[in-house]
Chains A and B, each alone.
Chain A
Amino acid sequence: MSDFDTEIDTSGLNCPLPVLKARKMLNEMSASQRLRLICTDTGALKDIPAFCKMTGNPLLSSDQVDGKLYFIIEKGA
Chain B
Amino acid sequence: MAKKLAIIASKGTLDGAYPPFLLASTAAALGFEAKIFFTFYGLQLLKKELSLKVSPLGNPAMPMPVPVPSIVQIIPGLEAFATWMMQRKLKKKGVASVAELREICLESDVELIACQMTVDLFDFKNSDFIDGISHGGAATFLEFASEADITLYI
Contact = CB atoms under 8 A, between A and B. Distances in A.
Given A16-B22, A20-B25, A20-B104, A55 B94 contact: no
Interface in A36-77: 41, 51, 54-55
A19 interface: yes
A13 B94 contact: yes
Contacts of A22: 29
B29 A51 contact: yes
Interface string A15-28: 11101101100000
Interface residues on B, range: 10 to 19
Interface string B20-64: 001001100111000000000000000000000000000000000
Interface residues of A, number: 14
Interface of A: 12-17, 19-20, 22-23, 41, 51, 54-55
Interface of B: 22, 25-26, 29-31, 93-96, 104, 108
Given A17-B95, A20-B25, A41-B94, 10 more contacts: A13-B94, A14-B94, A15-B22, A16-B25, A17-B94, A19-B29, A19-B30, A20-B26, A23-B29, A55-B30
